[in-house]
A and B are shown apart, each in its own frame.
Chain A
Amino acid sequence: MANLLDVNNLQTVFRTDKGEVTSVDEVSFSLKEGETLGIVGESGCGKSVTSLSIMRLLGKGGRVKHGSVKFKDRELTNLSEQEMRNIRGNDISMIFQEPMTSLNPLLTIGNQLMEGIRLHLKLSKKQAKLYAIDMLKKVGIPRAEAIINEYPHALSGGMRQRVMIAMALSCKPNLILADEPTTALDVTIQAQILKLMKKLKNELNTAIILITHDLGVVAEMADKVIVMYAGQVVEEADVYTLFDSPKHPYTKGLIKSIPHLDNDSSERLDSIPGTVPTLQHMPKGCRFHTRCPFATERCINEKPDLLQLKENESHSVRCFLYDSEQLDKDVREEVNS
């Protein structure tokens, strides 16, 4: 099956007062129809910028400098703004982190929901309203006929996030970019929303890119995971492999540093020392070497590439520890080309 989305060697930069900074660098991944890809990383690792780069919604000062984003065999980076608008909200839609601030406070739920429906599905006002009510019911909003005339402030956070999901799904997109969709919600509400997303995804066979810092959410939802650190992908694997046998020292550290509900609380937590480097002061060589317990001379001077593991071709790691002995030269050349 052909890939739905192919991101290749993406580099996104932002203009700042102190010159250009690279926020996302050498990011590549692909996604099949109906697949859920989790992007994990800490704040500032570039996971949100990656999704905004795909949508070309980087705002002032941001641009994709290198690389390609192929969606259904169309190169998104080359499309005109008009063509891109036809894709946004229609073929690819987004769900954001803050349901409290992501809806316009002065427009009714119905108004905001019907905007996209009328634009992309070319429905009349009446049809669009019925369709919108239908969508609200689908995402489990009670009294949809009444809620459609309400303003966002009258709804709880969980309900607003349901509205966001209804909005994102309304034009039956092939791909949804969900940026921390449950981070701002309470645990019991998070469980509701995740359950809803699973259900709808199975019904509609939508592919999802799920951006989150919460490894628990990834473990619940994703088929495939990429771990990002300081603007780069450091590890990519299917979800089971990633949690069962993480390879990159950063991934390992991340998994070990979450306090599990089922481990003994008298144990000390493993933590990763230091802090994430800032964009302006990116370390040379491997970007993780300043915090890595296994760093060698080579890590300080040379940049590691993202390389496939010989034992499992769907598992890639950006780390010298898995370099020479485990990799074929051929594979490496293929990846680099």
Chain B
Amino acid sequence: MSPKIKEKQKPLLEVVNLKKYYPIKKGIISKTVGHVKAVDGISFSVYPGETMGLVGESGCGKSTTGRSIVRLDDPTDGDVIFQNKNLANLSKNEMRKLRTDLQIIFQDPYSSLNPRKRIGDLLAEPLRAHKLAEGEEIERKVNNILEIVGLTKYHKSRYPHEFSGGQRQRIGIARALILNPKLIICDEPVSALDVSIQAQVLNLLKDLQKEFNLTYVFIAHGLGAVKYISDRITVMYLGKIVEIAPTEEIFNQPRHPYTKILLSAYPVPNPHMRNREQIVVEGDVPSPANPPKGCAFHTRCPFAQPICREKTPPLDGENHQVACHFPLT
């Protein structure tokens, strides 16, 4: 368990056996003949003040997980328990209230910012919608939040298109932050940004976490960023969790072959290491509409045994959980 998590602390967010299936329809009467299992029964907990990194390749279900947690997508099955409340059982009104505590920021903030509204109005909007402030209070809060994310109050009268990618992401962060949330789902917040700008935004997220005691679920495919910001990391493959462990352990002693391969595939910005031992797996990620039987990774796993083709390995372990019949040591 990471140092930030105290013994016997209650999780802020619990995801229990979450499933999100999309039906595949066929035939004259559009009969459902199968499902794309975007997220297929995953469970994990996030503790107050920590950052849970969620990594995996495209199609592994990491973004769907994030969207299901904040109920942008309705899960097919399973529970999301936030602050001891099961989100599935909440009324619309209760959910609305809870939303101020549960925010999400996206990869491309531009598409989530109304292009015809000024930044000042965009930031005031959530405050008005949730009736959290009025009149001058709004003005003060907006000015304050702009300063916190590294912009100035003079930016208020500008429109989204007048900002660069990094600045827009700052606006996206400000919009989530202004409601004073407890948990922020960060869905690939730096993937679309230039390297030098990524660092700025990552630093900002880290500073804000310290200052406001925020909890993050940080979704990304770039391992560097995830390592930098996360306390613990969840690795996903084809809609399932293959490994959950504290960041240092994931990087130093990965136990699932997929995690190890993912780490090894990452190009290292050091030319002296170019001839290192590297495991390159052949083949593509199978389609989530038709995932392999048994362990989903067995089709590409260099260590696969007969049992891997038959039985799905459960996610096992205490602090370091792994779903593999033959975990690495």
CB atoms of A and B under 8 A apart anywhere in the complex?
A: yes
Residues of A within 8 A of B (CB): 42-43, 156, 158-159, 186-192, 194-195, 213-222, 239-240, 243, 253-255, 257-262, 265, 268-273, 275-276
Q: How far is the CB of B104 from chain A (nearest CB, A)?
A: 22
**Residues from 214 to 271 in B contacting A, C-beta threshold 8 Å:** 221, 223-225, 227-230, 247, 251, 261-271
Whether the Cβ atoms of B280 and A191 lie closer than 8 Å is yes
* Cα separation A257 to B198 with both chains bound (whole Å): 8
Q: How far is the CB of A279 from chain B (nearest CB, A)?
A: 13
**Chain B neighbourhood of A240, CB < 8 A:** 271-272
Whether the Cβ atoms of A190 and B58 lie closer than 8 Å is no
Whether the Cβ atoms of B227 and A217 lie closer than 8 Å is no
**Chain A neighbourhood of B274, CB < 8 A:** 219-221
B57 CB within 8 Å of chain A: yes
Task: Tell me the interface secondary structure of chain B in the complex.
Answer: helix
B266 closest partner in A (C-beta):
A187
Whether the Cβ atoms of A259 and B202 lie closer than 8 Å is yes
Whether the Cβ atoms of B199 and A156 lie closer than 8 Å is no
**Chain B neighbourhood of A189, CB < 8 A:** 57, 284
B164 CB within 8 Å of chain A: yes
Q: How many residues of B contact A (CB 8 A)?
A: 45
B285 CB within 8 Å of chain A: yes
Whether the Cβ atoms of B196 and A187 lie closer than 8 Å is no
**Chain B neighbourhood of A258, CB < 8 A:** 195, 199, 224, 269
B223 contacts which of A187, A221, A271 (Cβ < 8 Å)? Answer: A187
Residues of B within 8 A of A (CB): 57-58, 164, 166-167, 194-200, 202-203, 206, 221, 223-225, 227-230, 247, 251, 261-274, 278, 280-282, 284-285
**Chain B neighbourhood of A215, CB < 8 A:** 195, 269
**Chain B neighbourhood of A261, CB < 8 A:** 223-224, 227, 251, 263, 266, 268
**Given contacts A190-B267, A216-B269, A243-B269, A42 and B278 within 8 Å (CB-CB):** no
Whether the Cβ atoms of B267 and A272 lie closer than 8 Å is no
A238 closest partner in B (C-beta):
B271
A-B contact pairs, 21 of them (CB 8 A): A42-B195, A188-B261, A188-B281, A190-B267, A191-B265, A192-B282, A213-B194, A213-B195, A215-B195, A221-B274, A222-B271, A254-B195, A255-B269, A257-B195, A259-B199, A259-B224, A268-B203, A269-B199, A271-B196, A275-B197, A276-B194
Whether the Cβ atoms of A195 and B269 lie closer than 8 Å is no
Whether the Cβ atoms of B225 and A259 lie closer than 8 Å is yes
**Chain B neighbourhood of A270, CB < 8 A:** 199
A198 closest partner in B (C-beta):
B274
* Cα separation A259 to B53 with both chains bound (whole Å): 14
Whether the Cβ atoms of B195 and A192 lie closer than 8 Å is no
The 5 closest A-B pairs by CB, nearest first: A216-B267, A271-B199, A257-B199, A259-B224, A191-B265
**Chain A neighbourhood of B272, CB < 8 A:** 240, 243
Whether the Cβ atoms of B251 and A253 lie closer than 8 Å is no
Whether the Cβ atoms of A254 and B203 lie closer than 8 Å is no
* Cα separation A275 to B194 with both chains bound (whole Å): 9
A275 contacts which of B58, B166, B265 (Cβ < 8 Å)? Answer: B166
* Cα separation A219 to B276 with both chains bound (whole Å): 12
* Cα separation A190 to B266 with both chains bound (whole Å): 8
Q: How far is the CB of A204 from chain B (nearest CB, A)?
A: 20
B262 contacts which of A188, A195, A220, A262 (Cβ < 8 Å)? Answer: A188
B200 closest partner in A (C-beta):
A271
Q: How far is the CB of A311 from chain B (nearest CB, A)?
A: 19
B266 contacts which of A213, A216, A222, A275 (Cβ < 8 Å)? Answer: A216
**Chain B neighbourhood of A253, CB < 8 A:** 196
B248 closest partner in A (C-beta):
A265
**Chain B neighbourhood of A190, CB < 8 A:** 265, 267
Whether the Cβ atoms of A243 and B228 lie closer than 8 Å is no
Given contact pairs A42-B195, A254-B196, a sample of 8 additional A-B residue pairs in the complex whose CB atoms are under 8 Å apart: A156-B284, A186-B221, A213-B195, A219-B269, A219-B270, A253-B196, A258-B224, A272-B196
* Cα separation A119 to B60 with both chains bound (whole Å): 42
* Cα separation A131 to B210 with both chains bound (whole Å): 60
A250 closest partner in B (C-beta):
B196
Residue picked from A158, A192, A270, most chain B C-beta under 10 Å: A192
